[in-house]
Structure 1
């Protein structure tokens, strides 16, 4: 029996979700965390993935961070420099990018694909332990909107080498909308702002949803904005507090600053849900420990100068779009920060902000939802981008009693549905439903229902099939 999963691996963290009992749910890792750091480290001769790689003494092991940037076939020199600055091993970029890991016995050389495979293998182990019976682990992945097909293929191969059976790779904005089932719930055309602020990158997309189909109208991507900027500001604040008390400067020690950034990042995540966080750093510098409480109000004051820059991509996307935006979907771990959520919401006061799912889990949940849908579909070639689909050629109306409604509009995709609430009144025993190409033409199909035994009002479900429209009482 196959199980459907969704995975989103960003530059800083990864999330695994499964589709079961008709709904997606996030699966916690072996440490009980719902999100796993996308970090790989070689500690002596032992590979560490996730939290073990992030924790401990950074100076004692070779660490790779932000590997996803180099999984993009079109990565830039700025991407390479960013990964080099945040990692602690040598990176060669002659014919191909290679990480060099020094051990006591030899030098290991691994490319970004092998690092990505190790992260997927970690998630495969977590997924395998969650499955009650043996079976294929079907997977849907999410990739950045601007990635090429070649970059997406690299992701697929890494996941397959880890043991997954990859069904499809979808874009991150599409996964975000699927997580909230916006394509199914939308009774009419609507525009949605999908804003993702991750660890080191950011993008704003305006997506039009029409008859179950999504079209990206605007997209702005920034590789210089992310939660790392906020972490750096908090670390600088703690460093200044430490220096003021002990007259010792953590900036003089690379090890001290690495520990500061690690604890500042943990503090930032705690303050996303709680009003205060305690920071304790053992032997920060010259054997001196540091203990401090940081309130959410203090943290928001520290990052206040960054807020405008963080929401700038969303503001530019909104200003360049001529239309009403009805909903906002927040993604990325940094969007858990209440101050940032409020700043985005204030850009569109009349729009509904969807926040029922943790922002760092949204994309993985959407992927799992898509995987569940695909398992219920007949087998098809999901990699063929030239599949022909016939859309409805004209509007379809439905008449019943003294009502006339537009059932499906021109351009609607096959297998779309329309749910209509019908209140027949006390004296009505039978209702005839007739279909028309416009309100004044003769009917081309009819259906009659006896309503005496039905609850009043009742719901009528219309389904647009390949050669007919079926009507069914729910």
Structure 2
């Protein structure tokens, strides 16, 4: 039995969702968390993945973070520097990127693909434990919109090495649309998809029409992320500690690492609660630190950064000529209520969709796509980038004295439309003509004999390859 799964692996964390009984649900890891840190560490001679790698004594580990940046085949020196600065292992860049993990017990070498495979293997274990019977674990992955096909193939290969059977790699904005079932909308809608992760941010305008999803505008920023909010909160705690004890934690790399770890945890707590307790054992020179941080204080700390975070969304909104009906927020950092309200205020008339935890949205959408694919067992998706032709202009239909829009611009192949026709006269034959515009010359004509039909009947039209099929029912 093949089971459907979806994974979104970001720079900071990964999320696994399963599609069963017509719905997607997020699976918790062995620690009971619904999101797994995308962190890998070598502790002594043992590999650690997820929460064990992120927590504990960082000084005894060789840790790699934000590995996803180097999974993009088009990474730049800025990405390399960011990964090296946030990790405690050496990053070498000669012909290929190589990580040097060195501990007191051993020294090992790895690369971005191997690290990604280890994270997927962790998620594969979680998925396997959710299955009673053995079977193929079918998977759909999400990748950033700007990634090339080579980068997507690397991502899929890592998941396959971990044990998954990868069905497809879809874009993150498309997965966000699927998570909220927006592709089922009977009307054309435009959606702002705003994603704020740990270290990157992007805003997209997505058009949903007839079940098809197309990205109209996109802005990607690699310098904006939740890490900035974490640093601001850590700096605040550091200043409080310094003011009381006249000791500066910023002078100790170990103390800074502790501050960032506890500030990140507090940031997530404050997304749902009005206060968070910060307790850091032996922050500096054996001095413990205990402090309560309220949500109001946290929002005041980050208030100066809000304008920077909404800028990508403002840019795509200003560049788009049309009404935006809905807003989808995703990415772990968008759990912050202050940021959600700031994005919502950009489009007061748009509906904000936030029923799913922002850090789970993309994984939920991927799982749904996997379930949809498995509903069509004969569908082959070996080519992850398939070009599809769409209708370049509207098609109108005329009969008797009526004019109907048969197909709208952008309709895909195999789109169907059914028109109900009432024949109030005594005619036995009907002539139907097709037009590019309501008042243009006909480019096709079809005659039907309706003598044996009821006065009210249906005309079914199907858009095929460079032709339109009409059928009277």
- TM-score, length-scaled by structure 2: 0.87
Cα distance, 1:381 vs. partner? 3.5
**1:289 and 1:445 mapped to 2: Cα distance?**
90
3-state SS of paired residue (2:63): strand
**2:402 and 2:51 mapped to 1: Cα distance?**
61
Are 1:182 and 2:179 an aligned pair?
no
Contact 2:12 2:199 in 1 (8 A): yes
Report Cα offsets for 1:418-451 as digits up to 9, x if no partner.
799x9xxxxxxxxxxx9985899878699999x9
**1:245 and 1:445 mapped to 2: Cα distance?**
93
Contact 2:202 2:312 in 1 (8 A): yes
In structure 2, do the counterparts of structure 1 residues 329 and 445 end up closer, same or farther at CA, with 3 Å as the change threshold?
A: farther
Aligned to 1:280: 279
**1:403 and 1:281 mapped to 2: Cα distance?**
76
Contact 1:120 1:158 in 2 (8 A): yes
Report Cα offsets for 1:106-151 as digits up to 9, x if no partner.
4211001000000000000000111121111111111111111111
Aligned to 2:16: 16
3-state SS of paired residue (1:237): helix
Contact 2:416 2:461 in 1 (8 A): yes
**1:151 and 1:303 mapped to 2: Cα distance?**
34
Aligned to 1:101: 101
Moved more, 359-368 or 261-270: 359-368
In structure 2, do the counterparts of structure 1 residues 389 and 470 end up closer, same or farther at CA, with 3 Å as the change threshold?
A: farther
Cα distance, 1:60 vs. partner? 1.2
**1:222 and 1:160 mapped to 2: Cα distance?**
29
Report Cα offsets for 1:180-233 as digits up to 9, x if no partner.
121221422x22111111000011111222222222221111111000000000
TM alignment of 1:118-197, pairs within 5 A: 118-188=118-188, 190-197=189-196
Aligned to 1:222: 221
| Equivalences, count | 451
Contact 2:167 2:381 in 1 (8 A): no
Aligned to 2:323: 324
Cα distance, 1:31 vs. partner? 1.0
Cα distance, 1:384 vs. partner? 5.7
In structure 2, do the counterparts of structure 1 residues 470 and 272 end up closer, same or farther at CA, with 3 Å as the change threshold?
A: farther
TM alignment of 1:215-254, pairs within 5 A: 215-254=214-253
Contact 1:120 1:162 in 2 (8 A): yes
Contact 1:397 1:408 in 2 (8 A): no
Aligned to 1:385: 385
Aligned to 2:71: 71
3-state SS of paired residue (2:307): helix
3-state SS of paired residue (1:135): coil
Cα distance, 1:395 vs. partner? 3.8
**2:271 and 2:472 mapped to 1: Cα distance?**
48
**1:230 and 1:167 mapped to 2: Cα distance?**
36
Contact 1:392 1:414 in 2 (8 A): no
TM alignment of 1:69-468, pairs within 5 A: 69-188=69-188, 190-377=189-376, 378-383=378-383, 385-386=385-386, 389=389, 395=395, 406=405, 408-414=407-413, 416=415
Q: Which runs of 5+ in 1 are unaligned?
A: 423-433, 452-459
Aligned to 1:427: none
**2:277 and 2:449 mapped to 1: Cα distance?**
69
Cα distance, 1:416 vs. partner? 4.7
Aligned to 2:47: 47
**2:91 and 2:154 mapped to 1: Cα distance?**
19
3-state SS of paired residue (1:349): coil
Aligned to 1:425: none
Cα distance, 1:22 vs. partner? 0.9
3-state SS of paired residue (1:16): strand
Moved more, 99-108 or 351-360: 99-108
Moved more, 54-63 or 403-412: 403-412
**1:419 and 1:86 mapped to 2: Cα distance?**
58
In structure 2, do the counterparts of structure 1 residues 437 and 45 end up closer, same or farther at CA, with 3 Å as the change threshold?
A: same
**1:266 and 1:443 mapped to 2: Cα distance?**
71
3-state SS of paired residue (2:207): strand
